[in-house]
Each structure stands twice: as C-alpha cells, then as structure tokens.
Structure 1
C-alpha cells in the first residue's frame, strides 16, 4: 500500500494516477470526498480528512510501504511556519508508529539553509525532523519555482498587461518546474525506492526569466504583457491587499530578499532530474481561451501523452459518445488505457488541427514501442508508427462526440509482420 497525501492536488493527483497505472495499491488522502470520487472509481482507497489531524495521518499511514508527504500552503495562516511544523510533527509520529520504510517529501530548493528563505524555512525544518525518524528512508524532492505560480497573476496579465515580479530580478533566468513533472519524480521514487535517504534536485527543461514568461503570455493573450517589479517595501502591502495574511506576506518578502542574496540555489547534493513540461505549455493551458481546438489539443497533449486522465471530466461532457459506442468520459479513458497497455511510451504529434465553431478535425501521427498485448496482438518489441484523423464535436467547451478514421489494415500488418 502506498499512501498519498494531497491526492487531488497539483502534484498529488499525478502521483496517484501514476501509481494506479503501475498497478500499485493506493490510499488517497483527500479533504473532499466528492473530489476524490474519481480516484475511488479507479481503485484508490480514500481517507477523508485534513493533514492537520495527527490521528487521521496516523491511520492513513498504517500498513503503508511508502508515502507521499506534502505541507499544503495556507496563505491566510496567522503563523504559517508554526502550522507547518505541526503538520510535519504529525507525519513524524505517524511514520514512527507505522514503521513506513520509505517516504517522499516535497521540499524546496534552498532547504539547506536554516534562515533567510521565508516559507522555504519550513522545508529545512521538515527535512531535519524527518531525517530523525528511525527506520524510514526518505526521498526529498527539492523543487524550484512552480511554473503554475505565474497563473496567480492571470488577471493582471489579461486585464492590465502586467506580470508582477516580487523584489526584482525579472531578467534573471531561474529554474522553474511544472507540477506534473514533480509528481512524476515522486511517483518514480515510490515505485523504485532508494536504498538510502536521498535528495533529488528538480529543474525544468531550461531556466526561464519573468521577462520570457511575459513574452510568452503576450503571444498567448494577443496583447503586450510586461514584467513589472514590485519593490521590496511594497511586497507586504501588495500581497495583503489580495487577502494574504501579513504573516505569510512577510515571509514572501523574506523569500525575495533571500533570492537576491543567492540563498534559493541548488545545494548540489544528491541527483538532478530535469522535467519535460515547458513554460509555454503551462501558460498556454492556464491563459489561452478555452476554444474548441485548445480543448482537443489538451486531450492529446495532456490526457494521452502525459497520462493525465484526471482531466477527463473537465474536457469531456457527461453524455460523451465515443468512437466504439462507449458513453461518458471514462470510456475515452478506457481507450487511452488500452493504447498505453500495448504501447506504454506512445506519443501523439498533431500534424494539423482545423476548427470550425464547435467542430474540430485533427490529422495526427503517433509512435510507440509494442511492449504489451494490444487487443489480439502479443508484444513484438517493435517501434510502431501510425497515422490517422480524428473528429470532435463540442458543447459548452466539452467534447460530446468523437470518431476516428485510420488504416486499420496497415496498422495490423505492422503488428503481425
């Protein structure tokens, strides 16, 4: 059994999907039973409650062979570090009681520093506390700036053409990573635990600046977006005006000052992993208008290529009719599972997308290694390529019907030759 805290969150949802796809038994800890319903339908055992409840944490860890631990952000906390330490204390006690052999903790770049890093101080304190748990090996996944954090400024980018940058450094290329890549790193560690406690320093495909992010947003939104510095002394008033507590806002000021001093740098300990999701993908997903073609692109890019089947209810209507008579979003998910069962590394490329109102036509190609049984065809180990066209009808931004035209005989010949 593998326990995942924050199972419906940005990283936790990826971890759960990966573990379930690998055939692992998963216990998903969620705050909202309704939000966890899709995971339960896929076979996850649900534990409903909050990580601030130490007794619930202990129950969730009972019998677990591994666990994914996070400290969820609380931007309204009166004392964020104290609340976070309490959550970590609950993890420590639960791990000791249950004698969990391995756990992954979502930490931060700069966790090697005890002070001067704002909310990142929690990562330092957590790593110290967790390392003291006897009998448990840890994978500390140290994350840099989340690309998704830029989407908190979606409104000023759309309405005013402004991307706020706290404290300066807008032209400096810094490490950024997508939440999906962090989830993949965590899932990999849970599926293949290390022999000893390790640090994994994660980076995105390449370092990016806020000026570059603004340029990407400009292209997506069709208007100029400029990276504008919020001076150090204006950070707390600016953040509290959005509803953030003064305590948390002050920590973000400290974070900006620490970044300027070079404290948010990689330690060089452990191993380094680079993610695959680009800043362009994250910003386009968060900023682009939800037109029919963008919905269909997300199906191929995220649901199929990135295995993000948790997005199915968002992209497909409840009364969706599939190409083989299947009904509902889950029927499309079943098609994806069948494809990935035969070709685990399958990747689609969209060669042409044509949209007319709520109808979309896609000319695509894919390649993948035939490593599993696909329908009646036993694994051949060959790299298979295939081309075809798919057609989609949408209503209210969700897909209601799809069908595909392809050369089935040519496909079968590749598998049987």
Structure 2
C-alpha cells in the first residue's frame, strides 16, 4: 500500500500518543502537525497534534472541543471521519480515518486537469461530503484542493469544521486576518460577513473549476488582484462541460442567497429531484477510477451521471457496498511502505546498556514524587467538587497543578523508556501557562 507524503519522524517528535503509534509525518500547518499513526489492530489513522502555542490557549481549546464534538456527528459519506480525540493531555490531538491517496492539488499539478468522468465523480463526491457536513450543522470554512484527497474509493474531504477554532473573536488569528485560502474564499467573507454554508458552496465551485481547468476561476497575479476578481469579475471556466459549467456558475454566484445548497448541487449533478447522499456515496465507491484509485477495475469506466440515473429503482440495492478500509492491505514488493515497528533505542544495545540501568535508577525518585502528587490530587478532589459548582470555574492553582503533574509525569516515563531525546532526567520545571483575563 503506497503511503503518500509520509516523511520520517525527527528525533524530538513523539513515537507514541495514547494508544497510537506514530509512523511518519504527513504534514504541518498553522494548527498543528499531522502524523501517520497505527492502532493496535494495525489499522492506519491520521493523528493531528495541536501546536503547543495553541494548546496553551484555554479559549482556543474550548472552541476546538466544540468543533471536534460537532465534527464527530458528520456522516462518513465521502469524508475522513473523526475517530477519536484527546484534548485534555499534553499535547492535545484528534484522530481521523487515514485516507491513502494524493490531494487534488498535487494530482492536478502532476497530471493536469481531470478528464470528464473523473471530474464528474469529483464534483459529485465533494458535493456529497458537503451535504453530510452541512447536515451535521457545521461549515467546512476552508474547502480547497489540498483538503480533497483522491482515495481508491473516491474523493474524500478532510479537515471539515476544524478551522472555526482558529477563526474566532479574540482567537489566535491576528486582527485583520482570517482563516482561508485566497483563491477559494467567497466574496461575502471578503466583505466581513460570517462564513456560512453558502460560502462552502462557493468554495466547491472553485475547487471543481480548478480540477477541470487546472487553475482557480478567479486567479490573479497577486492576492489583492485575486480578491478583486472574486468580488467583481466573472469566473474563468473555459474547458468545462456545458452541463457541469452551468452548475459551477450557479455555485459561484456573488449573491450567497442565489447559490444552490449542497443537496441541490447533488440533485442537479445526478439528475434527481432529491439525491440520497448515502446511495450516491456507495455508487461513487463502486465506479470511481480517479487518480487515487490505482489500476482500473474490471468494469468499464462509466460517466458518473449516467451511473446514477434519475429513477432510484435503477440502483441495484442488492449490490454489496465496498468494504471500508479498516486494515491496510498487504503491499506489493515494489511499493513504498512505512516502517510500522516502534524504534528500539540504540543505547539499549551494546556495552552502554549499563548506563540504561543507571538511567532507570535516576527515575525512581521521580516516580515516588509522582505517586505523592497523584495522592494529593485524590485528596483535593472532594473539596473541589464542593467548591467548583458554586464558583463556576476551576481554581487556577488546582488546574495548574493537575496539568503540570500530567506533563511532568509523561516526560519522566518517556525518559525512563528512552522515548525522548533528553540527556538528563527532567529536573527542570515546566514553563507556566499563560493566564487569560
């Protein structure tokens, strides 16, 4: 199984987070770092670790928690669903299904615009994902080609709803900044309006136009020119099929009220008055032959619109749905793969093994102190339960003590087992968390 864009871990990066082993780095962004991970069963997952400067912002973590909770309600149709989240440990992280395939952005850069049936499949798949996301009551806010992955079962939309935690009043973004990618931002957002579901539909139109033409529909020579074209110019859609072009043009309307909803897009794309996202997702999985799909299947490549005709009875409900990728298939001999085994510390071999024993002995006093700290935490739990409901907030001293204990103990255990690059036991105190008024 080829793994796209998974780089090696650096010496100071974690190898284990909770029950997940980290196998490689998939990328870095403004919010955090995304790792390729593995569950105990061997199934691969994507683990997004929040940057430390954001993890120290209580307001950000509160928003992030709400967004993750909402994202877990999104149906799996053409998305990378959230599987797990741990926001109370250091560092906080969320876990999503791992989608093994290139991004739409990389595919178009490497191979050019998508051909007819692949482009139709992409348009339907991303519209299906938006219907599922909007159906859960959330907004993607940053739909762009790099957030669309082309898997073996069809296009998948990732990172939905998470950008909202960054883009909020008094949040980590600076004054005058907002979350988004210039060529895919709706005109009302540029005018200061909030990002709504109609803004996602506009981004959908930009993404489909990029996939079919090789460039965004409002691309300028500078960010300022791009913004100007988004606000006043007509989109450049040369090369799109007339039927698809009409749908994309409607999605790129300057007036958000005039744009179709995600479900309307889906209905127009498949030629039905009301499309069922679940059935559409199954059909895409069964017929997809896009760039991320590898070798062609036995069936000939059909046009995606023809594969979902208007009469719903034409869909064979007895056809089994494709098996979800719960485990990685056995890789071929000539395919690139990623080392799954946890690295064994080199210092645990050879003549220096006795220094490892000394290292363990140095940790014993820390372990004793840890036991005393946790015992103290147990003692203060009961009075805390009596105080917090009446004060409406956690005592800062208790919160700092609990977080500091957790961080320090995790460093001590990591040091004892050689999972950290620290040369000395973690005697140093941790930096104090910034207080917010």
Place the TM-score, normalised by the shorter chain, in its bin: under 0.3
TM-score, structure 2 normalization: 0.26
Structure whose CA Rg is larger = 2
**Normalized per residue, which structure has more strand?**
1
TM-score, structure 1 normalization: 0.27
Task: Flag the structure with more relative contact order, 1 or 2, with Cα contacts below 8 A and sequence separation at least 6.
Answer: 2
